Chain A
Amino acid sequence: MIKAPKGGKVVVKLTVNGIARDVESSPLTSLLHILREEVGLTSPKAGCQQGGCGACTVLVDGEPRRSCVLAVGGIDGSAVTTVEGLAPDGLLSPIQAAFYERYASQCGFCTPGFVVAGHALLARNPEPSREEILGALAGHMCRCTGYVKIVDAVEAAARGEVGEERVFPESRPEEPEVLVPGSPA
């Protein structure tokens, strides 16, 4: 933890989605606030700001962390990844593609947190069991209660059951696109 003179600010070095940044802040300011209000990345959400809902989850040195209760002074020198940094611009990572194709998102507010948690799981355990997926997603709240589809999407991404590399924006297909083989088109 970087210490600051009482009430003062410190400079914290972060690499955010691959870009080095010097952030001037009180060391106790949350990483969520820095990302949203200073860096301008809005995918991490302020759902509860108490570490309870998971909507603010980002990767800090590859590990999913609750950015709303993470003091920025404690992660000096870390690499931070948000959903915006998971894939090159205009492309989806496998986990993003699986969430999109399998309707694992309803209102979407919790989705960035689930996506980075799923991404981190597959990075360290490419073939997780259903129980391991549930463990990795535990504590992420989806109030639209689409949990089954979310777990299915992580499972599908692990198995490589996602479509061709998906580039967006997509042109609007003339024929309704069938996302999942075997669906009643």
Chain B
Amino acid sequence: MKAVGARLPRYDGLGHVTGRTAYVDDVRVAGMLWTKALRSPHHFAAVRSVDTRKAEELAGVHAAVTHADVPKNLYGHLEALGVPADEPLLADGEVRYKGQPIAAVAAEDEATALAALDLIEVEYEEREPFFDVRKAFDPDAPRIHPWGPVYPHFGPHDHRRIRKGDVAAAFDRADLVVQGVYRPTAIEHCPVEPQTGLAVPEVHGRLTIYSCTQAMYFSMGVVAAHLEWPLNKLKFVGGTVGGGFGGKVDTATETICALLAIKSQRPVKWRWTREEEFLASSTRAPWHMEIADAVTSDGWIIGRRMLTLHDAGAYTRFSSYGLTKHSFHHTGAYTIPNLDFNGYVVYTNRVPTTAMRGFGVTSISFATEMQMNRIAKVLDLDPWEVRLKNANRVGDTSANWVALSDPSTVPVVQAAAKRVGVELKPEFRLMTKDRRSGDLLPDHLVEQLVSTDGGES
């Protein structure tokens, strides 16, 4: 245990302070071309035609690609689980968000590549875009995908469901129902290193791909799938990431660099501008969350009904996974015995949304903590006491029936109170995370709130 508690030098620290750490943009390969992408100027439009011929004829341009150049254009991260692919690498027939790539060129330098984009001819037919998840089920809402307004593959349902206990009985017994609507907005990850990729065609036919991905094997799989290549023809070099925060989980540059490298047989780099980062890179999703809690007048939450609308943006990517995590955490750090949760992944004409620091969970943590404050305010109770009463205890089960063996809510809330100088009453200061013993629990709620599974997991 020599390392635990010791301050060890960072293995990459010297590289960072000497400027020697080589990020993708710092890799030098002779004969390298630069990439620029033609992106949709519209939020939602039909693409009637794309013609890159004039761009390809421009001096200094080595290759251009459109959807027609991609062996397998449509991709879905959850195809292995039987969920159909829904996102084209390069737009084919339709653009569903502003900034969606339609074509890309590789040229001697960035200025030439930009000039080539101006020579690509695209005919659009604009459509009315859709942004408000609350209107997704309106009959006159624009239809973004042919299968409907939401992701339909949660088993037999078109939404993620959780049913636990008897929520109707809880609402019958409640002294009061406390409702809240919580709507955290999108956040751009904004790493200082923009999305950057470099694909090098090797003489033996393989591709070496320098990647700033946070998820090497995801990205390798994505590139291999689009190219319909076996993995052993790809060599990925990565692990040096100039900030990601979840925004470099989705594969942004590598596949298009690979296609252009194969077509031009030259090394191809694509470094996004900051404008592209803000326009077209994925963000944390905006969430719409409606909570109704059945509470007792002394501050016990005995039931929760919840509706979540998760804004996926234009394509699914990992949204269904994020919403599932969200549903598992929808009681926060607290135990509520009776639950009815419905969550929908809703499509809009925003950029596709993705992971960011606690994918799906930060939204519900925000909503739950705001709701705890609201309950305390409505009941005129101390918000610390409401939290401690309802805190997870050993033996409680989470929303998805995982028995908690070491929940930390009680000690964390107590420590937080201490740090900010809040004096808790003795009965709350002495609470422990141990199995509910009925502490402060009225008799009529013992049956509801004391675990009956008979043991710790």
- Point out residues on A near B: beta carbons under 8 Å: 36, 40-43, 45-50, 52-53, 55, 82-84, 92, 96-97, 99-101, 103, 105, 107-112, 115, 141-144, 168-170, 175-180, 183-185
Beyond contacts A143-B191, A144-B243, A183-B6: 6 other A-B pairs, Cβ-Cβ < 8 A, are A42-B22, A45-B25, A84-B18, A100-B9, A142-B192, A177-B9
Q: How many A-B residue pairs have CB under 8 A?
A: 120
The majority secondary structure among interface residues of chain B is loop
A residues in contact with B193, CB < 8 Å:
45, 47, 107, 109
Q: Are B23 and A179 in contact (CB under 8 A)?
A: no
Q: Are A107 and B5 in contact (CB under 8 A)?
A: no
Say whether B162 faces chain A, with CB atoms less than 8 Å apart. no
B residues in contact with A36, CB < 8 Å:
25
Within 8 A of A (CB), among B14-33: 14-23, 25-26, 28
Please, which residue of chain B has its CB at the minimum distance from the CB of A82? Answer: B19
Given known contacts A45-B23, A47-B193, A142-B192, A111 and B5 CB-to-CB distance under 8 angstroms: no
Given known contacts A42-B19, A43-B19, A84-B18, A49 and B274 CB-to-CB distance under 8 angstroms: yes
A residues in contact with B7, CB < 8 Å:
103, 178-180, 183, 185
Docked pose: A142 CA to B194 CA in angstroms: 13
Given known contacts A45-B242, A175-B2, A183-B7, A115 and B17 CB-to-CB distance under 8 angstroms: yes
A residues in contact with B21, CB < 8 Å:
108
The majority secondary structure among interface residues of chain A is loop
Q: Are A108 and B273 in contact (CB under 8 A)?
A: no
A residues in contact with B15, CB < 8 Å:
108
Smallest CB separation, B34 vs chain A (Å): 10
Q: Are B22 and A99 in contact (CB under 8 A)?
A: no
Please, which residue of chain B has its CB at the minimum distance from the CB of A47? Answer: B192
Please, which residue of chain B has its CB at the minimum distance from the CB of A140? Answer: B192
Docked pose: A178 CA to B22 CA in angstroms: 27
Smallest CB separation, A113 vs chain B (Å): 9
Q: Are A179 and B9 in contact (CB under 8 A)?
A: yes
Docked pose: A152 CA to B91 CA in angstroms: 48
A residues in contact with B243, CB < 8 Å:
107, 109, 143-144
A residues in contact with B26, CB < 8 Å:
42
Give the interface centre of A41, A97, A110 by most chain B CB atoms within 10 Å.
A110
Smallest CB separation, B22 vs chain A (Å): 7
